[in-house]
Structure 1
């Protein structure tokens, strides 16, 4: 997925934008690949989203080791050719193309680092779960670690590669091995900044208005995902073992906003989505038990974790309890998600401690 974002003062015709998209893809080595271009006009600039694939007709993957430099060179050349505003302060007319991590290609740390740095500084998320949702699009997972080192409590983050099913592969990497810009303190600051940015910009209401008509026109989750992607959005569903939806996080790549459905409205909560797609005859029933409050590690932001901690840490305090860095006032906790969390906790207690 690539986003091309000319300056708001650049007046480009549809033909100009079509040519820019085609030439950009050729310059970064994707000119022969199938791709789709969508023009969007819903923010302060006309811009394009390009969706393509990295696998060639012969089954081999296109190397992405020089993505950053190819993209930078391509945008500079296109700015000159079309007399566009030159990017300032490191912002080009395009986003660095983000790609899924592929552990089989090697140098997993570099793959993770490139994507994590771009996502952490580029998207607006208020909890670890919302950050995790964006990263999951690129086969990356993130977890908080806490413990004791030299008689002092520490907090940290670790990033891991996953396969297309979300299963972790290989060893995790401490944030400190990638850089301070993706560490615990940096992400904490990003939470606070994002909360303010989303509130002041009315992004939750804006995103809700974009999603609800798409939901109404969608007959199943795959149709819903496809329609959202055509509008520059993604949704990450979370399911129970029995296949029931217990959470959904929406990602708008235009505004770079990441929001749990229950943050926006009850129609996008887990219960409502479950009824819409799996129990359509009950869709109009009133839902009981709505609650407010909570923390980002309870209710709508709770994710099932399969993380196996690194032996370098003392993980005696590594379970999420909802306190510390990732606390925020969540305006809506979905009752179905809350019940699922409680059920998982009860199962864990019944199993007893591991020796």
Structure 2
């Protein structure tokens, strides 16, 4: 089981993202902890948001007060709602959030059943719950839950990731050839990527770029590859090195084979659903490119943005280090294409969640009344709101549009 811990400042956005699933019958509210139930068992974003207000207003110094956690069992695991609730309670208790208000949502819009937990790190007395060792503690809890509920183990995958560490090229250290070799010789053994663009996106993390070289030799077409070192700003700082210097895995022929193998593996890679979900949440809980990238980095995901000379975004790639796979935005989903992010970060048109927020009389309950209720020392485990839902179909996988094609269209419009 894989746990993702998101830390942000937009409580309304985190609740809205999950409640949208419920309102579209792609999710359900499984469990409420330290949150009063409603008379009719119906909830709205405004109501849930108000339940957190006493906590959020008690501490104005902490910037990232929101905790948004997803627990993702393997698709082969069969987990009942009762087990999901038990796992959520044990996880939150051991993470130090047992006395915090939190909502457990179950998502059913993809084949991988998983839960999302929305909470806050601010206690009722205004003190921040320590989170310095969240990641190792979370991993240990997941290993215990895997054993307790007989789930598929993620240990092997995590161990492979921690055993191999690649270092970025530093041209100031000299021996650039050896530094490049230590990356390109072994990268294909650990990561899946299916285009030269996604390969270069991954290489850019290590201050390297690969360039195709085409020409003729003795009347025969030649198609090769060279590698160049980059500085921290992406500028070339070395002469090109032929791929043949780094072994067959670094050359064009072997790379093409790797692309084809990766395409097949990524079609059935369950990490795609988790990654898509994580990216969509980051869109709706951040307000800038910097915050968006930072939130994803905290969850082991790098965002590589490609811009043309005028600053227009024509490509976006996500590198998930946990699943060790590289995805173009539109390959994950149409609403994650480069155009969507260009419209947001360059034109100010942020993608919005469009739902009808169900408002009822309880939304008008004064915050003071809620504060008194939440301060009471009694359990709300029996007040569970359940919804009957039907799973929806998965989204379609869309290919990234070619930049050259876009530039042709752009030139055509200028004429």
TM-score by length of 1: 0.57
The 3 A distance-change label for structure 1 pair 37 and 344 is: farther
Deviations 1:158-177 (A, max 9, x none): 11101111111111111101
Question: Which stretches of structure 1, 4 residues or more, deviate above 6 A after TM superposition?
Answer: 344-347
Give the equivalent residue in structure 2 for 1:230.
Answer: 298
Q: Aligned partners of 2:398 and 2:319: how far apart in 1?
A: 18
Contact 1:219 1:277 in 2 (8 A): no
Gaps of 5+ in 1: 1-7, 9-34, 47-86, 286-329, 351-355
Contact 1:271 1:334 in 2 (8 A): no
The alpha-carbon deviation at position 284 of structure 1 amounts to: 5.6
Give the equivalent residue in structure 1 for 2:115.
Answer: none
Structure 2 residue matching 1:169: 3-state secondary structure: coil
The 3 A distance-change label for structure 1 pair 184 and 337 is: closer
Q: Aligned-pair RMSD on alpha carbons? A: 3.5
Pair 1:143 & 2:191 matched:
no
Matches within 5 A, 1:283-322: 283=351
Give the equivalent residue in structure 2 for 1:340.
Answer: 407
Contact 1:271 1:336 in 2 (8 A): no
Matches within 5 A, 1:1-355: 38-39=135-136, 94-281=162-349, 283=351, 331-334=398-401, 338-340=405-407, 342-343=409-410
Q: Aligned partners of 1:114 and 1:108: how far apart in 2?
A: 10
- Number of residue-to-residue matches in the alignment: 228
Structure 2 residue matching 1:249: 3-state secondary structure: strand
Structure 1 residue matching 2:180: 3-state secondary structure: helix
Q: Which has the higher contact order (CA 8 A, sep 6+)?
A: 2
Larger displacement relative to structure 2 (245-254 or 334-343): 334-343
The alpha-carbon deviation at position 130 of structure 1 amounts to: 0.2
Q: Aligned partners of 1:40 and 1:205: how far apart in 2?
A: 24
The alpha-carbon deviation at position 337 of structure 1 amounts to: 7.7
Structure 1 residue matching 2:318: 3-state secondary structure: strand
The alpha-carbon deviation at position 275 of structure 1 amounts to: 2.3
Q: Aligned partners of 2:403 and 2:252: how far apart in 1?
A: 30
Q: Aligned partners of 2:408 and 2:275: how far apart in 1?
A: 27
The alpha-carbon deviation at position 132 of structure 1 amounts to: 0.2
The 3 A distance-change label for structure 1 pair 225 and 156 is: same
Q: Aligned partners of 1:150 and 1:333: how far apart in 2?
A: 36
Q: Aligned partners of 1:194 and 1:111: how far apart in 2?
A: 25
The alpha-carbon deviation at position 274 of structure 1 amounts to: 1.9
Contact 1:248 1:270 in 2 (8 A): yes
Structure with greater Cα Rg:
2
Contact 2:334 2:398 in 1 (8 A): no
Deviations 1:272-306 (A, max 9, x none): 11223333447469xxxxxxxxxxxxxxxxxxxxx
The 3 A distance-change label for structure 1 pair 92 and 247 is: closer
Structure 1 residue matching 2:266: 3-state secondary structure: helix
Give the equivalent residue in structure 2 for 1:56.
Answer: none
Q: Aligned partners of 1:341 and 1:284: how far apart in 2?
A: 30
Q: Aligned partners of 1:112 and 1:211: how far apart in 2?
A: 30
Structure 1 residue matching 2:167: 3-state secondary structure: coil
Contact 1:246 1:340 in 2 (8 A): no
Gaps of 5+ in 2: 1-73, 75-131, 144-155, 354-396
TM-score by length of 2: 0.49
Deviations 1:33-58 (A, max 9, x none): xx99844979xx86xxxxxxxxxxxx
Structure 2 residue matching 1:185: 3-state secondary structure: helix
